[in-house]
Amino acid sequence: MKNIVVIGVPRTEGLIRSFAENYLYKLFNLSDALLISLPEGLCKDLVSRSLSEEAYDPMISLRYLNASLERIWRPVLQMIMRFGRESFLWSGGLYCYLKDDFIKTLEERA
């Protein structure tokens, strides 16, 4: 049986930072698949950028998230880039399951 982890991240900066620093990498190493509530395109862009060994650039994330969400999610986004660089160590997968326009649609409805 596959070990699949769906990650629901709190929406406060301190808790997300704590989660990213203390738990996310462990989950990455212990699971066959991680599902995280971020836009698909964002995760693809972060991983492809990490494979070319580029540093995290907030401008990539701002195509998908507003400035506040980018700041809050930054520790997780940076960790996703780390996963991309170390993907050869991992046989599982990282899946971001939101549509690319989900955040913008959510903001429009608010």
What pTM value is reported for the model? Answer: 0.80
| 4-47: pLDDT as tens digits | 677 776 678 888 888 888 888 888 878 888 888 899 999 999 98
Instruction: Give residue 59's pLDDT.
Output: 94
Tens of pLDDT, residues 75-93 = 999 988 888 887 655 556 7
pLDDT of the residue at 15: 86
Q: Where are the domains of the chain?
A: 4-109
Length of the chain: 110
Judge whether 82 and 50 are in contact, CB under 8 Å: yes
